[in-house]
Amino acid sequence: SEPGVHRYMPIQWGKNEDGSDNVNVQGIQNGEVLNENVLFLAALTDNESVLMQYHAMSALCGAVVNSMTVVAPYMPGTSSGDASNTAQLLSSLPNCGTPHRIIS
């Protein structure tokens, strides 16, 4: 794609019959995200959303993106220490080329 041009890539969030996450990131199957710089706007409002979005971020890393920046303006549990656990989970994302960045 052209430098400086951003494209919206929708993500379909759902559940399988067994209750497991079913997350489909558009652009992975057809290679549209290959070698792209990704900006992931996270809405980490509760533990379930953290895990679903972690699956999407992991899938993007596995799709060989050039870089990924995650913007997470809110992390749940800031008073109970859960934010530290969430930060550790996000920092364990698979390597996706250049180091990914987490901005909160």
Q: Which residue has the higher pLDDT, 83 or 41?
A: 41
Burial class (CB in 10 A: 0-12, 13-18, 19+), 87: middle
Cα separation of 58 and 78, whole Å? Answer: 23
Q: Which residue has the higher pLDDT, 102 or 12?
A: 12
* pTM value surpassing 0.75: yes
- SS3 state at 85: helix
Which ranges in 1-104 belong to alpha helices (H)? 47-62, 82-91
Instruction: Specify whether the CB–CB gap between 55 and 21 falls below 8 A.
Output: yes
Burial class (CB in 10 A: 0-12, 13-18, 19+), 99: exposed
Assess whether pLDDT exceeds 90 at residue 16: yes
Across 59-74, average pLDDT: 88
